[in-house]
Chains A and B, each alone.
Chain A
């Protein structure tokens, strides 16, 4: 078992940990960050499997753009600080306007 093999097993273990953790977190922001780290690990695994084409695409799309889109969606639905229970300024005033 040489170094590359150990590294590969380590990366696969981290991949499984990320896949389980993204389901178990209650905080959506943390889930997005874990998802992006999952994509980064997957990118390294693609390089180890000698397919750099997929690695570049995974790094650009999986770890970059889809993460940005998830964060934008969280901001749209105001779920960034859902777990902390902190209210944004203006949220109460908006509720008063509702009859």
Chain B
């Protein structure tokens, strides 16, 4: 202001110089402003109307949705309760299945060589079921790998992922001395127990799936206690894929051979062994080992893919 007054008194500045232009401009901007305000108000009204329309539509949808959810839930509960009420009682002899059960119980040991009749059923009589289950696990591992695997091509470098990775490092407890000490004591026992269950599937409770799950859990604890680098030395993506492929193809070929040559009372050239020994049950033990390897690899693969987006060295 002072500067302006000085210049005015020195005759340097025309006081009316910018006034007229400014008035013109201001008039024009006022008209424009009026139009803009009107447009803005119309836009606000239009959007409020649309939002109320959306809200009413959503309310109707939510009411419909909750009604349908309640109805389908009640129907499902009714169907399940009806089914449970019509099941045969626990331990009752059901005439529709009693022949198969008699056959399994009476001739199971003789025909399959397995003392544990469950193992004889799932790996001899109904071996194709177990083959399908193993393939389901393999397919699940492949799907998880498609969804969660991180490699150089899809490495995400935006900030959010940087924080995710940092959180992983922050919550990573590998190198924790308690985990290491407890792990070094308890891990051999867990792995030994898994191998025992795996190899004794034909003589006692257990078998491929349970033993493999226990060994997979042992691998998970191992990677938690000693870090992924320790597991990477023995189990990488390539090794895991080779193990899975060899196990599944061995299962398919062996069982296919037995079904083609040994069905309908033909000889299948595979000795049964004495029931009760570890090397008994014909093909049951190798099939158990194959299923157990697939399950252990799959469980560890799930954990590793969930945790860090890869299985190792790929």
Contacts and interface: CB of A to CB of B under 8 A. Distances in A.
A59 to B, nearest CB: 8
Given A69-B302, A69-B303, A72-B307, A57 B213 contact: yes
A60 interface: yes
Interface stretch (A9-17, A29-37, A90-98): A90-98
Interface in B291-313: 299, 302-303, 306-307
Given A51-B118, A53-B119, A53-B205, 18 more contacts: A53-B210, A56-B205, A60-B210, A60-B214, A61-B213, A65-B213, A65-B217, A68-B303, A69-B303, A69-B306, A72-B306, A75-B167, A76-B164, A76-B306, A78-B167, A90-B163, A90-B167, A93-B163
Interface in B221-252: none
B17 interface: no
Given A65-B216, A94-B160, A94-B163, A57 B209 contact: yes
Contacts of B116: 53
A61 to B, nearest CB: 5
Contacts of A75: 167, 171
Interface string A50-93: 01110111001100110011001101101000000000101101
Nearest to B204: A52
B299 A56 contact: no
B206 interface: yes
A65 B220 contact: yes
27 contacts: A52-B205, A52-B206, A53-B118, A53-B119, A53-B205, A53-B206, A53-B207, A56-B206, A56-B210, A57-B213, A60-B210, A60-B214, A64-B213, A64-B217, A65-B213, A65-B220, A65-B303, A68-B220, A72-B303, A73-B306, A76-B164, A78-B167, A90-B167, A91-B163, A94-B159, A97-B159, A98-B159
Contacts of A90: 163, 166-167
B287 interface: no
Given A64-B213, A65-B216, A90-B167, A56 B197 contact: yes
B160 A88 contact: no
B175 to A, nearest CB: 18
A60 B217 contact: yes
B43 to A, nearest CB: 24
Interface string A14-50: 0000000000000000000000000000000000010
Contacts of A94: 159-160, 163
A98 to B, nearest CB: 8
Question: What are the 5 tightest A-B residue pairs by CB atom distance, in nearest-first order?
Answer: A52-B205, A60-B213, A56-B210, A72-B306, A97-B159
A73 B148 CA distance: 11
Interface centre among B119, B163, B207, B216 (most CB of A within 10 A): B163
Interface string B185-208: 000000000000100000001110
Nearest to A88: B167
Interface centre among A65, A93, A97 (most CB of B within 10 A): A65
Contacts of B217: 60, 64-65
Nearest to B305: A72
A26 B116 CA distance: 44
A35 B288 CA distance: 29
Interface string B19-55: 0000000000000000000000000000000000000
Contact of A65 (B118, B197, B302): B302
A72 B119 CA distance: 33
